[in-house]
Structure 1
């Protein structure tokens, strides 16, 4: 995991960048999936390996936006991190859907948030750290923005049992 140390400079490169093609590869797979040229599984697999960026809160956690407050759906909705708040996990069953803005590059991060503190990690780490019920909103300010629902990205252990007949005794 990398972070910019609280600096508001969003152009600073992480100390250990991912593969140079991570952003391009993920964006292209999303675009191909929208046109039927790639499967949701392809998007998921590419996201797992990609280096992604998130806005870094003051305390550990993920900053989120309520799906009903998505910028652009309401003329008066504020942009970027001004509408973000820390996700709180509670026992309430009727919580509105929460989206975690995740970005393929620092440029996409800056387009949505206007700049600020960030951290980067792999898509697999993001999914492994997200509390239940949060969805990923990939590059929300881009034309290729996509929502990865938590139900579709959840990895659960499965027990498979099969039986063999032993045949009959003579």
Structure 2
């Protein structure tokens, strides 16, 4: 995701990243029950998400997956879960739960 690289380089602010993310498709590992496939890492629930099927396939051999828009993911995100966009890539981006919520509040539409 080009926006993740621009954000990491300081060429894109968090509000602009949020807007790009909301409209972008994301790919997720599908658990056996409805919801998200989260991993526990150092006491945090982290949901790996991917900007492409290629990025997903390069990270896991898990075969079940689903596609959604970033906006849909954000509205269904379990509380206090962090997101990790494209883990294992040179543009991997950790999105903290508190930062996601703060930016979402800043960008709410009336």
- Normalised to the residue count of structure 1, the TM-score between the two structures is 0.58
Matching of residue 133 in structure 1 with residue 80 in structure 2: yes
| Matches of 2:77 and 2:9, distance apart in 1 | 29
SS at match of 2:38: strand
| Matches of 1:126 and 1:44, distance apart in 2 | 12
Matching of residue 119 in structure 1 with residue 80 in structure 2: no
Aligned to 1:63: 37
Taking only aligned residues, the RMSD between alpha carbons, in angstroms, comes to 1.5
- Select the structure of larger CA radius of gyration: 1
| Matches of 1:119 and 1:110, distance apart in 2 | 13
- Would the alpha carbon gap of residues 115 and 66 (structure 1) be closer, same or farther in structure 2, given more than 3 Å must change? closer
Aligned to 2:17: 43
| Matches of 2:54 and 2:36, distance apart in 1 | 19
2:26 to 49, 52, 61: 52
Cα deviation for residue 127 of structure 1 reads 1.0
Aligned to 1:147: 94
| Matches of 1:63 and 1:34, distance apart in 2 | 25
Deviation string, structure 1 residues 102-125 (Cα, Å, up to 9, x no partner): 000000000111240100000111
Cα deviation for residue 141 of structure 1 reads 1.5
- Normalised to the residue count of structure 2, the TM-score between the two structures is 0.87
SS at match of 1:147: strand
How many residues in Structure 1 have an aligned counterpart in Structure 2?
Answer: 104
Cα deviation for residue 67 of structure 1 reads 2.4
Structure 1 gaps, min length 5:
1-26, 69-95, 158-170
The list of structure 1 runs, each at least 4 consecutive aligned residues, that deviate by more than 3 angstroms after superposition, is: none
| Matches of 2:59 and 2:79, distance apart in 1 | 24
